[in-house]
Amino acid sequence: DETKLKTVAKEFGIQVDNKPVLQIAKELALKILAEFGQQEGELTFTKTRPPEKQKKIWREHKIMPRGIDREIVEAMARTHMGCDNDYKNLLFHTMKVALADGWGGSMVATELCDILFSSPKAVRSQVNLGVLKENMVNIVVHGHVPLLSEMIVEAAKDKELLELAKKLGAEGINVAGICCTANEILMRKGVPVAGNMLQQELAIATGVVDAMIVDIQCIMPGLKEISKCYHTKLISTHPKGKFVGMEYIEFKEEEAYDIAKEIVKKGVENFVNRKKELIKIPKETKDLIAGFTTEYIHYMLGGKYRSTYRPLNDAIRDGRIRGVAGLVGCNNPKLLSGQSHVILAKELIKKDVLVVETGCAAIECAKSGLLTPEASFEYAGKGLREVCEAVGIPPVLHLGACVDNSRILTACCEIVKEGGVGNSLDELPIAGAALEWYSEKAIAIGWYFVASGALVVFGTPFPVSGSKNVLKFCTEEVEKITGGRWVFEPDPIKAANIMIEHINKKREQLKLKPMMYV
């Protein structure tokens, strides 16, 4: 996306006029790499993107990150035996590290993926295990690295490999995704999603996954054990994520396409080793629309020449839309194995709250049919339904993988810029939730939203409930500092009521019009 490349480059102070695209890209890459190792100053995105009030709070309380790696290294030093034991001091630095993630590393990753692979646009696809095909070679990508999955998708179109597949009895090569790799190639390529992270073993149990290619994060070591019962070839590809018993083919960017072809070929050749008596593919699939981003919402609401957030702000101000909720995160068998997201989303959209989602939460709601425009007629309140019908969007918008939670931050910044519903992030009628979190990064994500002024609901507490002081700081005292706070509530209906009550409180403080429909 050359347009986005130039936009981001300008934020980093790079001159773009009359300069070759690759030269701009090189200069931007070097500037970004420097921010990872930066020791003093502030990150570019923390200076250019948040509202002034947030920047003032971060500077005043000394939680404005100086660099990305710098804050992580300091956190490790502070938590060494015999060092920092003031819980407030530690929690302030926790927010500093989290802000370096949300407004630093995570936001950088989202922007660079858009630049490299193109910015997503609305795209139709399907979800659930029924997307796997008995008559085709099935290549499943699983993990979080879009560089690999993008190349796998391209390699699956290779004429030589397609001819080999047909020679071996298959009608073609079908690529599907699991977890956030699925979301990456869904958003940009419309590649179908086989399932969320809890379905990785179930995908193998269909008996038709000829190769599962994994990289890092959310990959269960037990995959190797279940694969022994089937024919699936498991291939790990990342030096930071090796698994005992899996074949390892290191993915190198310099040889990306050739390595992707080598990996896909192994899956194609494995097609003939299927155990027909073990093949059982569930028929369930659901249609979905994904591909929503901060920029695409501009286009969606105003078109090419009048791109604007004004219709969204007007709908919030006038009482058609109550507010916006971000539902993100994992699926957790300790709770409802994904259904918490669905119940919560249905309750919110019923009360005219527009829902935006990322990660496995988005996949779960897609499996329940919430990511289609038609869902607004069945589940949404009258005000939200009118907006969805007018614009042609689902009541639940898919914004991408877990790394793309930064899109929620930038979309909120655009709402503030448009005006009329708050002058800072902590004033907006918004709330967030990750009811079924289990990954450590979910804590970082939650903290950078709390530090940015949002209410965040987790289904279960991260390890803070053993200290009354720490728990009180997280759930009460931090709100007086950043405007955001934590809530821990496993029941999705109760969580929805907490979020709606918070949104209503923000509406009252802003003196917005009453809701149109009760």
Q: Tell me, what CATH number does 133's domain have?
A: 3.40.50.2030
Residues 6+ apart with CB under 8 A from 481: 57, 61
d(CA 503, CA 412): 14
Q: Which of 229, 254, 278 is the last residue of a domain?
A: 278
Residue 357: predicted pLDDT: 98
DSSP state of 105: I
8 A C-beta contact, residue 295 and residue 119: yes
Strand partners, 214: 142, 236
Residue 495 in tokens: 């969580």
Contact 350, 320 (CB under 8 A): no
Answer yes or no: do 213 and 297 share one domain. Answer: no
Nearest to 350 by CA among 308, 327, 328, 380: 380
Residue with tokens 């209503």: 504
Residue 354 lies in a domain: yes
Residue 285 forms part of a structural domain? no
Whether residue 460 is found in the same domain as residue 490: yes
Question: What distance in Å separates the CA atoms of residue 243 and residue 200, rounded to the nearest whole number?
Answer: 15
Chain center to CA of 80: 32
Distance CA(14)–CA(128), nearest Å, equals 44
In a domain, 124, yes or no: no
CA 346, 347, 350, 356 torsion: positive or negative?
A: negative
Residues in contact with 468: Cβ distance below 8 Å, sequence separation at least 6, in sequence order: none
CA 471, 477, 481 angle in degrees (round to 5)? Answer: 135
197 shares a domain with 80:
no
Considering the domain architecture, whether residues 312 and 236 belong to the same structural domain is answered as no
Taken in order 401, 124, 398, 206, the sign of the CA dihedral is negative
Is position 283 within any domain? no
Q: Are 371 and 289 in contact (CB under 8 A)?
A: yes
Does 246 lie in the same domain as 142?
yes
Question: Closest Cα partner for 372 from 288, 451, 490, 316?
Answer: 288
d(CA 191, CA 196): 14
Q: Judge if 419 and 487 occupy the same domain.
A: yes
Domain that holds residue 23: 2-117
- Residue 306: Cβ-neighbour burial (10 angstroms; 0-12, 13-18, 19+): exposed
Say if CB 330 and CB 434 are below 8 A apart.
yes
- Alpha-carbon distance of 251 to 260, in angstroms, equals 8
> What is the C-alpha radius of gyration for the chain, rounded to an integer number of angstroms?
23
Q: What confidence score (pLDDT) does residue 386 get?
A: 97
C-alpha of 358 from chain center: 4
Q: Which of 65, 84, 117 corresponds to the end of one domain?
A: 117
Under 8 Å between Cβ of 46 and 11: no
Domain shared by 149 and 91, yes or no:
no
Asked whether residue 458 is domain-assigned, the answer is: yes
Q: Are residues 135 and 267 in the same domain?
A: yes
Is 6 exposed, middle or buried, given 0-12, 13-18 or 19+ CB atoms closer than 10 A?
middle
Question: What torsion do the CA atoms of 221, 224, 230, 231 make, to the nearest 10 degrees?
Answer: 120
**Same domain, residue pair 262 and 313:** no
449 and 303 belong to one structural domain: yes
Residues 113 and 134 in one domain: no
For strands 233-236 and 173-178, give the pairing.
unpaired
User: Residue 302: its pLDDT value, please?
Assistant: 81
**Residue 8: inside a domain, yes or no?**
yes
Q: Which tokens go with 126?
A: 């399907």
- Residue 87 sits in a domain of what CATH number? 1.20.1270.30
Q: Is residue 286 one of the residues assigned to a domain?
A: no
Separation of alpha carbons 452 and 409, rounded Å: 8
Strand bridging mode 455-458 / 353-357:
unpaired
Closest-CA residue to 235 (of 220, 246, 251): 246
pLDDT at 303: 76
Domain count, the chain: 3
Q: Report whether 288 contacts 371 (CB < 8 A).
A: yes
DSSP-derived 3-state class of residue 452: coil
Domain limit, last residue, from 93, 117, 141: 117
Same domain, yes or no: 82 and 159: no
Please report which helix (H) or strand (E) contains residue 146, including its range: helix 146-155
| Domain annotation covers residue 439 | yes
CB crowding 482-497: b at 16 or more within 10 Å, else e: bbbbbbbbbbbeebbe
- Tokens 């190198």 belong to 252
| The pLDDT of residue 257 | 96
The packing angle between helices 146-155 and 106-117, to 10°, is 20
User: pLDDT tens, position by position, for the chain (518 residues)?
Assistant: 999 999 999 999 999 999 999 999 999 999 999 999 999 999 999 999 999 999 999 999 999 999 999 999 999 999 999 999 999 999 999 999 999 999 999 999 999 999 999 999 999 999 999 999 999 999 999 999 999 999 999 999 999 999 999 999 999 999 999 999 999 999 999 999 999 999 999 999 999 999 999 999 999 999 999 999 999 999 999 999 999 999 999 999 999 999 999 999 999 999 999 999 999 999 999 999 999 999 999 999 987 767 899 999 999 999 999 999 999 999 999 998 999 999 999 999 999 999 999 999 999 999 999 999 999 999 999 999 999 999 999 999 999 999 999 999 999 999 999 999 999 999 999 999 999 999 999 999 999 999 999 999 999 999 999 999 999 999 999 999 999 999 999 999 999 999 999 999 999 999 999 999 98
Task: For 55-159, list the strands marked E by DSSP.
Answer: 123-127, 137-142
Alpha-carbon distance of 403 to 143, in angstroms, equals 12
